[in-house]
Structure 1
Amino acid sequence: MRDIRPNKRTAALGSAGVLVAATLLAGAVAAPTASAAGGRSGQDREARGAALAAERAGKAGINWQDCPADWGLEKPIQCGWVTVPLDYAKPNGKKIKIAVDRIGNTGTAKERQGALVYNPGGPGGSGMRFPRRVTTKAPLWTNVAKAYDFVGFDPRGVGHSAPISCADPQEYVKAPKADPVPGSEADKLAQRKLARAYAQGCAARSGKAVLAQMTTPNTVRDLDVVRAALGEKKLNYLGVSYGTYLGAVYGTMFPGHLRRMIVDSVVNPSREKIWYEANLDQDVAFEGRWQNWQDWVAANDATYHLGTTRAAVQAKWVTLRAAAKKKPLGGVVGPAELISFFQSAPYYDSSWVPVATAFSKYFAGDTKALVDAAAPDLTDKAGNIASENGNAVYTAVECTDAKWPTSWAKWDRDNTALHKSHPFMTWANAWMNLPCATWPVKQQTPVEVRTHQGLPPVMIVQSTNDAATPYDGAVELHKRFKGSRLITEKGAGSHGVTGLVNTCINTRVDAYLLTGKLDTADVTCAPHAIPKP
């Protein structure tokens, strides 16, 4: 599940999905893993290929230049390319180029500690805007920027890095879509047909040879090649959401190549969770965070006039949903589009006010405000291409990474049962992921994330009520990475903690990145301030 509302995208692990919407990172050889090739000989070939690619990239470096004008990255940010194999088992075969960008550290040469590489999540999110935290003078990152170059990249298949596609972008964003909550077996059959067609579209538009290489381990190998191209002996890494899974797999495959790593809002790295079970867990967590938001709306009834209890706010949601199902708002906003818009409130506290405001205005007679907020912008060609591409990468990576159930009976049984008590996101999430049931290329076995010799102490940051990456994921990674420290933001639930103002967390992030210091024990922080109407 990834938030991929057309033209209103955020890089995170979750969403109401394409099937509702269209028809959730040189040196030594890597430590042994259960990698995408399958079998020890395949793993060895990929490990050798990764080492060779990193060696070549280290020699070639990156030809930094001003970024293309249409990339939206102002000077002094610079852009470049890193060449990687499509298939690491064939390092002399087909190559693709990974887009990267950077801004130099703002401090002195003596203060510089290297590059800090960032991934915001997805799968399918671009990290290319990370250097803008410096150009826009984001206050939380001022101290870290003195010591580090900020480096972003488009993972393979994303944006400017050999982008893939599964559907026509204009068709992908057309609205309204079918209600994701099925009212009949015929509704389910229609969604199943859409899922199969989408999987086939991925193969037709991107090619099976490419889809077979769209995996987390390959993105991790790409990340290590980027490290080498940057001239860094060891990687400093910040990963959020799915970026934490990249970090977890990188720490497993290349433990000796890591210097410092922060993972924020953590994907559960257990093989049993990647990816089918992880998405079911999200449905439970989203329901809880949806209720947190409803409680806040009710507490601020003087502003929003949507009811003084959670039940009253939920009743308004049910009424709105039914009205949009009967007659799509503005002709384009039905239940699918509403879910895609409203889900941002469980995702991010920063969405609490704008979502509640649009919700309130609708019941005050202003339908246009909600339509403007929830409807796709069909005229935004670039945004629609980016939206479709992001969902294509999400699907390709999650479907290829791991084996998914192929029995519709299992999908139907699991999601029907879960929907009864967790109705907000369950079916929307199911349809988004259902292409994995009929995926056209071989599905791999996920890496067994664990500690290998050379792994440095890792900082793990997590809020207890996170919807997209439930708290248990952080606990699981903490168990698997010996010497790691878990910083818990108790009672909070916004997805992506390190970008929020919370001194208890912010000072520790600075201390770790600047000095390598971690607390001697895990830390529990009070929640950041909740939004005010």
Structure 2
Amino acid sequence: MRAAVLYPAAGALLLTALSAAPAGGVPNAAAGSGVALAAARAAQEGIAFGACPRAQDAPAGMQCGTVTVPLDYARPNGKQIELTVSRVRATHRDPHNSKRRVPRQGALVFNPGGPGASGLYFPMIGRLPEWKRIGAAYDLVGYDPRGVGRSAPLSCQDPKRFVKGPSPAPTHPSESYKRERVAQAKAYARGCAERTGGALRHYNSLNNARDLDVLRAALGEDRLTFMGASYGTYFGALYATLFPAHVRRMVFDAAVNPDPAQIWYRNNLAQSVAFESRWTDFRAWIAQHHDVYGLGDTPRKVLRSYERARAMLAAEPAGGKVGPGQLQGALLQAGYYDDYWPSRAEALSAYLKGDPEPLVALAAPAAGAATEAENAHAVYTAVECNDAPWPTDWKVWDRDNTRLARVAPFETWENVWANLPCAYWPAPRQRPLDVRTGSGELPPTLILAAERDAAAPYDGALEMHRRLSGSVLVTERDAGTHGIAGGPNACVNGHLEAYLLEGRLPVRRAACAPHPEPEPTDRAGKAAVRAKG
């Protein structure tokens, strides 16, 4: 998920106002009646759960089925698409008291974000100790949103062309390189239109929220219990705005900024700033463990090691597959999750010491995952481009990001190339919904945020909290993992369980101390042992 919020460090940037774009989408009244009709049909039909499409990968007890939704809610009797849904029933077993039977509280529906991520395997999480109490009380339900995986999948280009390497990923690209990437963005936008046709405009966040209400009805739930992570918090907030009376409980984990003015161009600018800070955190951790990795005993020295590796990979890609772009992508993942820090630091260290294998294993494009990766990117692009106006003049993108790259070079231009097709998008754009609920309209909701999250910076959680009346924000201080529900922080998990199992929230904002930073590991993946002297 590349949507984000502008950190104060970028406040001095003068960003040009977005160019006007047609509203697109459908009238709210027509779409609203279409949702009501589709939900009534789904409630009557239900979901015929059975074996999952890839049963060999499914855990024992996980079932799958489909729910039918209109492609276009303004025409609910027109073309229909099927969403694939997964479920593991509530176990009713208290993990702390085997003699106690836990009453079922309904279905907990989850979306992992993206846009473009599949939630189909979410029910497997009930096996983890941190989730067993929740899995005892709830049916755990995941699904592929429209366009994703087995739910009317989108494609914008041949997957064989999508996954490729090595790539350069310059932090300060030349004018010729920019022209090349502009041409590629135009071609990608054309490919989305050619391969999807008129249906392309219907893959957007408002329809994701409407689909969620149809899924609620199909599950037989009068009111929805939902957990969204990252981008999932955005269309969860749209759902809360559109259907507040249909909400039972909602968890927003790693909340993105729902301010219409931020969707999505400015959010992506802000995310690039936040990743620069998290990249600094990662380098500081590597420097603390210089005795293990030998990459430098200060963040600046670690940066020089990284730049040296980039230069070497530009001259000769590792394994013929990993160039500077693949290295940046692997280290970007460490900006999302700090449990990736040891493996990424070890791969960079080994490469600079003459062994490229760990880096190739982490960063080389996976041909076997090409179809899934291309599909995820197609959905990401379609949803974000359809959701809102974007600048249509390349000069705006160039000026804003050239300025930004001076202070945040690590991710800025790669973020541009991921989103640039939106400048040339062939489908009508929507005006983002003003996410907002008044006092008493919405049941109390829970917002979870890590203070140094780069993919969904903290200001987004603050904005979500301001806009959803009655919400409570729980912050993991001085931590940056993207998504903290059910993770290693017992304090966060305590608030999550109290809310989902008892409907209990803190009276006001709450804070948790950070979970411990990861320990460095040796080449075998074991905790590194330091010599004592």
Fold shared per TM-score above 0.5: yes
Residue 169 of structure 1: how far off its partner (Å):
0.6
Q: Tell me, yes or no, if the aligned pair for 2:203 and 2:386 is still in contact at 8 Å.
A: yes
Q: Tell me, yes or no, if the aligned pair for 2:25 and 2:202 is still in contact at 8 Å.
A: no
The answer to whether the aligner puts 1:37 opposite 2:25 as a matched pair is: yes
Amino acid at match of 2:107: A
Cα separation, 1, equivalents of 2:170 and 2:116: 22
Q: Which of 101, 117, 126 does residue 118 from structure 2 map onto? A: 126
Q: Tell me, yes or no, if the aligned pair for 1:289 and 1:467 is still in contact at 8 Å.
A: yes
- TM value normalised by structure 1: 0.91
Amino acid at match of 1:430: V
Provide the residue aligned with 1:455 in structure 2. 442
Residue 70 of structure 1: how far off its partner (Å):
5.6
The answer to whether the aligner puts 1:393 opposite 2:379 as a matched pair is: yes
Deviations 1:156-203 (A, max 9, x none): 000010000011111111211343435421110000000000001111
Provide the residue aligned with 1:267 in structure 2. 256
Q: Which of 179, 184, 191 does residue 201 from structure 1 map onto? A: 191
Provide the residue aligned with 2:418 in structure 1. 432
Q: Tell me, yes or no, if the aligned pair for 1:120 and 1:126 is still in contact at 8 Å.
A: yes
The answer to whether the aligner puts 1:140 opposite 2:140 as a matched pair is: no
SS at match of 2:248: strand
SS at match of 1:80: strand
Q: Which of 277, 299, 309 does residue 298 from structure 2 map onto? A: 309
Cα separation, 2, equivalents of 1:440 and 1:36: 11
Cα separation, 2, equivalents of 1:360 and 1:324: 14
Deviations 1:472-505 (A, max 9, x none): 0000010001111000111000101113111211
SS at match of 1:345: helix
Cα separation, 2, equivalents of 1:270 and 1:71: 42
User: Between the two proteins, what is the percent identity of the paired residues?
Assistant: 49
Gaps of 5+ in 1: 3-11, 15-33
Q: Which of 239, 244, 247 does residue 233 from structure 2 map onto? A: 244
Provide the residue aligned with 1:253 in structure 2. 242
Q: Tell me, yes or no, if the aligned pair for 2:25 and 2:428 is still in contact at 8 Å.
A: no
Residue 36 of structure 1: how far off its partner (Å):
5.7
The answer to whether the aligner puts 1:505 opposite 2:492 as a matched pair is: yes
Provide the residue aligned with 2:220 in structure 1. 231
Residue 433 of structure 1: how far off its partner (Å):
0.3
Cα separation, 1, equivalents of 2:36 and 2:144: 21
SS at match of 1:101: strand
Amino acid at match of 1:492: A
Q: Tell me, yes or no, if the aligned pair for 1:13 and 1:121 is still in contact at 8 Å.
A: no
Cα separation, 1, equivalents of 2:505 and 2:173: 52
Residue 13 of structure 1: how far off its partner (Å):
8.2
RMSD: 1.6
Cα separation, 2, equivalents of 1:438 and 1:310: 39
Residue 72 of structure 1: how far off its partner (Å):
2.0
Residue 326 of structure 1: how far off its partner (Å):
2.1
Cα separation, 2, equivalents of 1:75 and 1:490: 37
Q: Tell me, yes or no, if the aligned pair for 2:169 and 2:325 is still in contact at 8 Å.
A: yes
Provide the residue aligned with 1:28 in structure 2. none
Residue 210 of structure 1: how far off its partner (Å):
1.6
Provide the residue aligned with 1:7 in structure 2. none
Amino acid at match of 2:232: G
Provide the residue aligned with 1:280 in structure 2. 269
Amino acid at match of 1:122: G
The answer to whether the aligner puts 1:529 opposite 2:521 as a matched pair is: no
Q: Tell me, yes or no, if the aligned pair for 1:333 and 1:371 is still in contact at 8 Å.
A: yes
Residue 376 of structure 1: how far off its partner (Å):
0.9
Q: Which of 339, 357, 379 does residue 350 from structure 1 map onto? A: 339
Gaps of 5+ in 2: 6-21, 94-100, 521-533
Provide the residue aligned with 1:54 in structure 2. 39
Cα separation, 1, equivalents of 2:40 and 2:205: 21
Q: Which of 433, 444, 468 does residue 430 from structure 2 map onto? A: 444
The answer to whether the aligner puts 1:496 opposite 2:480 as a matched pair is: no
Residue 283 of structure 1: how far off its partner (Å):
0.4
Q: Tell me, yes or no, if the aligned pair for 1:240 and 1:496 is still in contact at 8 Å.
A: yes
Provide the residue aligned with 2:10 in structure 1. none
The answer to whether the aligner puts 1:84 opposite 2:73 as a matched pair is: no
The answer to whether the aligner puts 1:217 opposite 2:206 as a matched pair is: yes
Q: Which of 323, 326, 330 does residue 337 from structure 1 map onto? A: 326
SS at match of 2:59: coil
Q: Tell me, yes or no, if the aligned pair for 2:4 and 2:267 is still in contact at 8 Å.
A: no
Cα separation, 1, equivalents of 2:131 and 2:474: 18
SS at match of 2:82: strand
Q: Tell me, yes or no, if the aligned pair for 2:254 and 2:484 is still in contact at 8 Å.
A: yes
Cα separation, 1, equivalents of 2:294 and 2:210: 52
In structure 2, the CA distance between the partners of 1:35 and 1:440, relative to structure 1 (3 Å rule), is closer
Q: Alignment length, in residue pairs?
A: 496
Deviations 1:294-333 (A, max 9, x none): 0000001111111100000000011111111222222211
SS at match of 2:85: strand
Provide the residue aligned with 2:8 in structure 1. none
Cα separation, 2, equivalents of 1:120 and 1:278: 19
Cα separation, 2, equivalents of 1:280 and 1:115: 36
Q: Tell me, yes or no, if the aligned pair for 1:36 and 1:43 is still in contact at 8 Å.
A: no
- TM value normalised by structure 2: 0.91
Deviations 1:442-480 (A, max 9, x none): 011111000045311010000110000000000001000
Q: Tell me, yes or no, if the aligned pair for 1:463 and 1:493 is still in contact at 8 Å.
A: yes
Q: Which of 164, 171, 184 does residue 174 from structure 1 map onto? A: 164
Deviations 1:327-351 (A, max 9, x none): 2222211111111111011110111
Cα separation, 1, equivalents of 2:362 and 2:223: 43
